[in-house]
Amino acid sequence: MSKKSKKLTDLNQIGEFGLIDIITQDFKMVNQSTELSIGDDAAILNYKNQKSIVSTDMLIEGVHFDLSYFPLKHLGYKAVVSSISDICAMYGITKQITVSIAVSNRFKLESIQELYSGIKLACQRYNVDLIGGDTTSSQKGLIISVTAIGCPSKLGYVTRSGSKTNDLLIVTGSLGAAYLGLQVLEREKQVFLVNPENKPDLSNYKYLVERQLKPEAKSDVIDFLFENKVKPTSMIDISDGLSSEIIHICKKSAKGCQIYEDKLPISEEAISTCKEFKLDPTVIALSGGEDYELLFTINSKDFEKIENHNELTVIGHITNENGINLITKDGKTTPITSMGWTNF
C-alpha cells in the first residue's frame, strides 16, 4: 500500500510575510558586519567606519505593471523610486543602485533605452549613481529588479520596532491616490478594448494618474526631519497600504495604536473619484497601496518641530495595549485588519 501523499501548501494560505518567515527561519547570520537582516524595509551592514543600508525590489509585468498604459520611461522611474523609498523608511540616504532586467524578444533596443531614460531621470532627481546590474532573457514579459544602497543619517537609522507608548503616528502626503489612479487607468483600458477609436480623457484625474505612474520618494521629508533634529522612533514606507504598514509597526514594537478616521489625509481628487467609483474614501486610504508615503512615530515632545510642515499629518498615537484600532468619525472603535496589497 502506498503512503498517503503529503498535502502541499498553497502560497496564498500563508501570504508574503509568512513565506518570508518560513524560508528564512534557518538562516543564521555569520558575519559581524550584518547588523540588521531580514524583517525590515532594508538591511543594515556595519563595516566599522561606515554603515550601509541595502534594499531590493522586483517588478514583474502582469503582476506589478501593465504596459498597455504604463509608459516604459515612467516604469523605469518608478522602479528606482520604490527602492529609494525603502532606504528613506530607514531614515537613510540612497547613494547607489543596481538594476537587473529580464526581457523577452518582443522588446526592441529602443524600448530598453526608453526604460533606462526613466531610470536615469530618477538617478538625477535623487542624486543616485547607477553602478551595475544584470541583463538576461525572459520567456515572457519584462522583469525589473532594483537594489538600492545607502547610508543612515548622522542621527542613525530607524527600524519598524522602536515605537513607544504615547508616540504620535504621522503620515506624509495623502493616501489612496495611487490606487485610484490605477482604477482610472484600468477603466480606460477596458473602454479602449471595446472601442479603440475612443481616446481616454484623463484631464480630471491628472494627480491620481501621476501618483500611480510617477510616484516620488520622500527624501525631502527625511532631510527636513534631520535638519530639525527629529529622529523617528519607528518608520515604514506605505507601499502595501496604511493598514498593513501600521500593523507591521505595532507588531514589531509590541504595541497597539489608535488611528482617527477624521485625521486621514485624503485629497479632494481622491474623494471625488471615490464617489464616482462608489468607493469608501476611508477604506481606500487604509488599503490602497503604492503611495510611497512614509508612516512614522515620534516622541510627542518633538511635535512642535514638525507641526507647521504641510506634508505631515498626525493621524493617531501608539498605545500600550495590543489593539490596533480605528476611531471612526462617530466615535466608534473598529479593529484594523490588513487590507492592503498581497503578493500571493
**pLDDT attached to residue 344:** 42
39-91 pLDDT tens trace: 776 778 888 778 999 999 999 999 999 999 999 999 999 999 999 999 999 99
**pLDDT attached to residue 163:** 97
16-45 pLDDT tens trace: 667 677 867 777 877 787 888 777 767 788
**Per the structure block, which three cell numbers stand in for 137?**
532573457
Which one, of 110, 321, 343, lies nearest residue 241 by Cα? 343
Going through 239-339 in order, the beta strands assigned E by DSSP cover 256-260, 293-298, 312-319, 324-327, 333-335
Lowest mean pLDDT among 97-101, 121-125, 187-191, 335-339: 335-339
Is residue 328 within 8 A of residue 202, CB to CB? The reply is no
261-308 pLDDT tens trace: 999 999 999 999 999 999 999 999 999 999 999 999 999 999 999 999
Numbers of helices and strands, H then E, in the chain: 10, 13
Residue 5 pLDDT exceeds 90: no
- Residues paired with 36 in a beta bridge: 44
138-152 pLDDT tens trace: 998 999 999 999 999
**pLDDT attached to residue 43:** 78
| Banded pLDDT at 132 (limits 50, 70, 90) | confident
For 9, phi then psi, to 5°, come to -100, 125
- Residues paired with 53 in a beta bridge: 44, 150
The backbone region for 101, taken as left when phi is positive above 0, alpha when psi lies in -120 to 50, beta otherwise, is beta
206-242 pLDDT tens trace: 999 999 999 999 999 999 999 999 999 999 999 999 9
| Banded pLDDT at 313 (limits 50, 70, 90) | very high
Residue 137 pLDDT exceeds 60: yes
Residue 15 pLDDT exceeds 80: no
CA angle (238, 81, 340) in 5-degree steps: 25
| Banded pLDDT at 257 (limits 50, 70, 90) | very high
**pLDDT attached to residue 1:** 45
Q: Measured between alpha carbons, how far is 331 from 100 in angstroms, rounded to an integer?
A: 49
Q: SS3 sequence, 222-237? A: HHHHHHCCCCCCEEEE
**pLDDT attached to residue 343:** 52
Cα Rg, the chain, nearest whole Å: 21
> How many CA atoms lie less than 13 Å away from 209 in the CB half-sphere?
16
- Mean pLDDT to the nearest integer, 144-169: 96
Q: Measured between alpha carbons, how far is 324 from 154 in angstroms, rounded to an integer?
A: 32
Domain annotation for the chain: domains and CATH numbers: 30-152 (3.30.1330.10), 168-335 (3.90.650.10)
